[in-house]
Amino acid sequence: MDIQEIKQRFGIIGNSPGLLRVIEIAVQVAPTDLSVLITGESGTGKESFPQIIHQFSTRKHGKYVAVNCGAIPEGTIDSELFGHEKGSFTGAMADRKGYFEEADGGTIFLDEIGELPLSTQVRLLRVLEAGEFMKVGSSKAQKTNVRVVAATNVEITQAVEKGDFREDLYYRLNTVPLKVLPLRDRKEDIHLLFRKFASDFAERYRMPTIRLDNEAVGILLSYDWPGNVRQLKNITEQISIIEKERLIDAKTLQHYIPVLNENKLPALYRGIDEKTFSSEREILYQILFDMKKDMNDLKKLVHDILQNEAAVANIQDDNAQLIRKLYQTENGNFMADQPAASRVTINPTHENIFDTEEFVEESLSLEDKEVEMIQKALEKHKGKRKYAARELGISERTLYRKIKEYDIQ
């Protein structure tokens, strides 16, 4: 049977190279008993490939059991998969066969495998490695001859890193990986799928088939379809039922595609320069330093005005009041106790206004401030790096690296 016949038999629509390659691999691996892990985003049609694998295997005359692991409550999933003995828990009024016992000699498809609890993952691993399981409430092992095909729409490798999925089970399931591409990577199939769905709904609801004009086709292809084939099918059905006009233009189509204008705009990559920050804390520091620089600039401007006696003589009383407020502290005193770098003395009467020291802009170097903060933290905690690192909000290892980098004694 060629690929075209396989697509027709299992209702697969599309001619993209990525889709055809996945079908080829499924057919090639079918005659073996290897475990298969199918990955892909939700709505890409992963459920079709376990059926292909089963129908082209030596188990095609056995049972094919599909189980949605995410739809079964955690408290009952062991019983559903492996069965239970009478009286093993409250409500167990009789013995019950599990899916693995029912599928003996056939194929079991475990959809959303990433939702399995860790305790159930241990039981599944035993089935894959030893071909046996125990019912809930039983101490007797039962043999089963079943092929496992699993699917997930989550990144299992990330779940393994977080400890939510067993690494040994992942490698045991992932003997043959199949990745189903999202619809945005199968642009050539989008309009083909739309026409097929439109034809199916026209036949179901006994109405003329909807069509898209050229501009609407462009919008259809430019959208990323985060819900993939399922989303495209639902939107096609909505338009088929709601719209009276059978030729759909771009404006009409936009009403059915959510947040079209905000969807996946191209990102401009500008590279990494000296202004790229490694943490939000550094960004906050930079904002504060910029604000301080603006204040210093303002003070310097006022200082320059005050140096010019002619200009000062023409300052009106309200301006003098404004300047005095700028340099007054909360208790009403002038900033006599402020650092010399930013201090000026102002006479409450604007007739004799003079500066006492030369204005020198303080350093705004991010490195200088970082060194100063590290030194203060070390002094506060008497050289104890552990507590100094905690005070700074960084790891002790990072603090040690900074001390070496800046040669802080």
Q: What are the pLDDT tens digits along the chain (409 aa)?
A: 789 999 999 999 999 999 999 999 999 999 999 999 999 999 999 999 999 999 999 999 999 999 999 999 988 999 999 999 988 888 888 888 999 999 999 999 999 999 999 999 999 999 999 999 999 988 899 999 999 999 999 999 999 999 999 999 999 999 999 999 999 999 999 999 999 999 999 999 999 999 999 999 999 999 999 999 999 999 999 999 999 999 999 999 999 998 644 444 444 334 444 444 445 666 676 777 778 777 877 777 777 776 665 544 554 554 555 455 555 554 555 544 455 444 444 444 444 444 444 444 555 567 777 888 888 888 888 888 888 888 888 888 888 888 888 888 7
Q: Residue 398 has what pLDDT?
A: 81
How far is residue 99's CA from residue 88's CA, in Å, rounded to a whole number? 18
Q: Tell which CATH architecture fits domain 3-181.
A: 3-Layer(aba) Sandwich (3.40)
Question: According to DSSP H, which parts of 308-407 are helical?
Answer: 309-313, 317-327, 366-380, 385-392, 396-406
Largest CA-CA distance found in the chain, in angstroms, rounded: 106
Phi, psi of 237, deg, nearest 5: -65, -40
Q: Tell which CATH architecture fits domain 366-406.
A: Orthogonal Bundle (1.10)
Domains 3-181 and 366-406 share a fold: no
Contact between 392 and 399 under an 8 Å Cβ cutoff? The reply is yes
Neighbour-count burial of 250, counting CB atoms closer than 10 A to its CB (0-12 exposed, 13-18 middle, 19+ buried): middle
Question: According to DSSP H, which parts of 156-279 are helical?
Answer: 156-162, 167-173, 187-205, 214-222, 228-242, 250-254
Query: Any idea where the domains of the chain sit in the sequence?
Result: 3-181, 185-262, 366-406
- Mention the CATH class of domain 185-262: mainly alpha
pTM for the model: 0.62
Q: Residue 346 has what pLDDT?
A: 43
First and final C-alpha spacing in the chain: 77
Contact between 211 and 246 under an 8 Å Cβ cutoff? The reply is yes
Whole-Å CA distances, 61 to 48, 55, 65, 81: 18, 8, 12, 21
Helix (H) or strand (E) holding 121: helix 118-130
Q: Residue 280 has what pLDDT?
A: 60
212 forms bridges with which residues in the sheet? 248
Whole-Å CA distances, 304 to 159, 172, 311, 323: 62, 76, 10, 13
